[in-house]
Amino acid sequence: MLKPMASRWGKTIPRFSAANATPGKVMEALRVQGCAIIERLIPEPRVTQISAELEPHVASRLLPADGADVMLREHADFMGNRTKRMLGVLAKSPTMSEMAAHPLVLGVADALLAPYCERIQLHIGMFRRLCPGEGMQLLHQDRHSVPAMELKPARGEPGYFPGAQWGVAALWALSDCTAQNGATRLIPGSHLRSDVNLDMTLKRTEAQEQEVGWTPSEEDCILATMPRGSVLLYPSATVRGASANQTESVRDVCLFAYSPAWVRQEENLFLTTPPKVAAKLPQVVQELLGYSLHGQVLGMVDVNGDMGDPQDLLKEFSPSTATFAKRAALPVLSRQTLSANAELLRSTCEHIGFFYLVDHGLEEKLLRAQNALRKFFLQRDEVKAKVGTSTSRVFPQHSRGWVANETLDPSRQGVLDLKESLEVGLERPEEEDPQKRPFRGPNNWPSELPELKEEFMAAVNALHELSLEVASALEVCLEVEPGTFVKKCDDPMVLCRGLHYYTPLGGDTPDEAALGCSAHTDYGLISLLHQTAKGLQVLHAEDNVWMDVDPLPGSLVVNLGDLMQRWTNGRFKSTVHRVLPPEPGQRRQCISFFLDANFDAVIEPLPRCIPPGEALKYPAIQAGQHKLAKFKVQSGSELDDQSAEFFRRTVEAPKGASVGGA
């Protein structure tokens, strides 16, 4: 955390870099201080592109002082005389979707507002340009823009988050925000007070005026200076206001505020971003705009003569849905409350089988392992070949050691993925007859990098422990006997892959067929992914469209495998996914951990997952034979058993899908 300025109360504005910000850290900062800044969260080129998309719309707007609309002039002490304001920003700048639906921001907003709603929405998206000579804005809160009611949980009740009942806001810097050009000034800790005497829109009675006892002053304020591409987060009860622009340049920001989806939005987003425009935006943004259902009925529309989901309406305006990639609206769950969020976990596993896991406590170990792996992948091929799979003492050999390249899609044999990997499992003594105890034995370690074993295995063992916690949480959400999954994983087949994705030799742009990792489903029960760059995509089966799953700082991506799908009789989903190659000159590195059951464990659908009157979708199968069959079909051989045939059909499913990238 960067050193913040302090107020006279000793309160601060916590600051994070994009690399070390996590939802858990940011939420704690918001809880204590009522504000947090994540610096340079959006890369400079994207900020430049957003500004270029907005500029034609901003340039044509009048200032209030020059005759802009009456409302702005009548509230000049708040709205400003030399401030340009603009709504409908997502219709004017498609790239701005990356700000509105940034995974870190959504993770925080979703977590803070979860006690009050099933789904969050955008409350307003507003561009603001402070022009030279603009004065200081009045200090204010956002209480006026939500219903005047006491929401539950209230102050002092479990689940209450200070100041977040009315919403959460993200103020993005499109230009540097400095002490001279109008940086936001705010009062850290003001969200904790219930006696704030600041209400500029609602008139108070004399009795009400006597009840409120604290009037914020300028002496309490701190300036939220930040470089462009940064974001200031705060619950809407935090007292704040723009400072004066004393320079000869403009200061540009964009505000995205989030509220429960049952609240009337401050901006009429259905008019500023109508269906024809919204249909071209990522699905997560469409849902934030309000093109979604809250619960089962709020927000319905007429679709083909029946009551339907707004998402179905958008399809009428987007006949070429499969030609672009969506951004996956993956839920964000915390390790600390995984079992407590059983309903959300169950719904996620039933619909897509992917989610972000935050507050996992493994980031330091994983980063050390990533650094050690980077040193390994930078070695010459002849050094890495010393620990190649051909030297493995484990059966099958390709489950241990360095893999120069491969393909996971049997229909793409001869078209290798643009990746290399180091495969390890739990460290075990060498077996006398490896074929009798498949997937067990020692790992291959390079003598040139003695620290690799310690750092990588520390991460592997920690991920193993975490995967069992996830398995226990799945037992809870399915309401099955404790230990149903975990007891069959007490001597598991574990595989962990350090993966390095690269661009073709010479830095050429990959052709359309090139993939970092070809389309596939995971074989086992639970997969945990620590990724450092974009590229992961999951298949949205209904639309046959690839959805981007971008890295969320401090998170793991969790997904379910084929064996879990079988075990739950198809109730939980093993979803097809792939990885796009990096851009020329870039690299992508990740750690993928796979938990499988014991080799001899017999897996058959749980009675709990078989609806009355329905038959089993999958016969019983030994976990080890299931995994061996997957290995065989991956190599393009032996499609004679049901599990192998199922895998072949699954990976061929996305043939008509988009090959668009992140």
Report helix, strand or coil for 93.
Answer: coil
342 and 247 together in one domain: no
Q: Looking at residue 398, which CATH number applies to its domain?
A: 2.60.120.330
285 and 266 together in one domain: no
138 and 246 together in one domain: yes
285 and 184 together in one domain: no
Q: With respect to residue 262, please indicate whether it lies within any of the assigned structural domains.
A: yes
Token look-up 């024809």 returns 276
Give the whole-angstrom CA distance, residue 618 versus residue 640: 16
Gap between the terminal Cα atoms of the chain: 29
Q: With respect to residue 230, please indicate whether it lies within any of the assigned structural domains.
A: yes
User: What separation in angstroms does the CA of 453 have from each of 59, 316, 424, 556?
Assistant: 58, 54, 10, 22
Q: With respect to residue 4, please indicate whether it lies within any of the assigned structural domains.
A: no
- With a cut of 60, say whether residue 207 has pLDDT above it: no
For 118, the domain range is 15-148+157-198+214-273
Instruction: Give the list of residues 6+ apart from residue 567 with CB closer than 8 angstroms, or none.
Output: 485, 525, 603, 604, 605, 606, 609
423 and 501 together in one domain: yes
Q: With respect to residue 570, please indicate whether it lies within any of the assigned structural domains.
A: yes
Give the whole-angstrom CA distance, residue 589 versus residue 559: 18
Chain-centroid distance of CA 466 in Å reads 19
Q: With respect to residue 365, please indicate whether it lies within any of the assigned structural domains.
A: yes
243 and 122 together in one domain: yes
Taking each helix axis from N to C terminus, what angle separates 103-113 and 23-33, rounded to the nearest 10 degrees?
Answer: 50
587 touches 502 (CB < 8 A): yes
What is the percentage of the chain residues whose pLDDT exceeds 90? 41
- With a cut of 50, say whether residue 3 has pLDDT above it: no
Beta bridge partners of 333: 357
Give the whole-angstrom CA distance, residue 445 versus residue 462: 19
Q: Mean pLDDT throughout 129-140?
A: 90
Q: With respect to residue 326, please indicate whether it lies within any of the assigned structural domains.
A: no
- With a cut of 90, say whether residue 40 has pLDDT above it: yes
- Residue 648: pLDDT band (50, 70, 90) is very low
- What global pTM score does this model have? 0.55
Q: Which two structure tokens, joined as six digits, stand for 573?
A: 């989903």
Question: Per mean pLDDT, which of 186-190, 192-196, 415-419, 583-587 is the most reliable?
Answer: 186-190
Q: With respect to residue 605, please indicate whether it lies within any of the assigned structural domains.
A: yes
- With a cut of 60, say whether residue 512 has pLDDT above it: no
Q: Mean pLDDT throughout 207-221?
A: 68
98 and 143 together in one domain: yes
- Residue 66: pLDDT band (50, 70, 90) is low
264 and 304 together in one domain: no
- With a cut of 60, say whether residue 647 has pLDDT above it: no
280 and 376 together in one domain: no
- With a cut of 50, say whether residue 202 has pLDDT above it: no
Q: Looking at residue 51, which CATH number applies to its domain?
A: 2.60.120.620
Token look-up 């422990």 returns 465
186 and 290 together in one domain: no
Beta bridge partners of 560: 526
Give the whole-angstrom CA distance, residue 473 versus residue 102: 27
State how many domains the chain has: 3
233 and 357 together in one domain: no
- With a cut of 60, say whether residue 384 has pLDDT above it: yes
Question: Per mean pLDDT, which of 314-323, 479-488, 500-509, 640-649 is the most reliable?
Answer: 479-488
For the chain, give the mean pLDDT.
Answer: 81
Q: With respect to residue 626, please indicate whether it lies within any of the assigned structural domains.
A: yes
Give the whole-angstrom CA distance, residue 128 versus residue 115: 31
- With a cut of 70, say whether residue 72 has pLDDT above it: no
- With a cut of 50, say whether residue 11 has pLDDT above it: yes
163 and 279 together in one domain: no
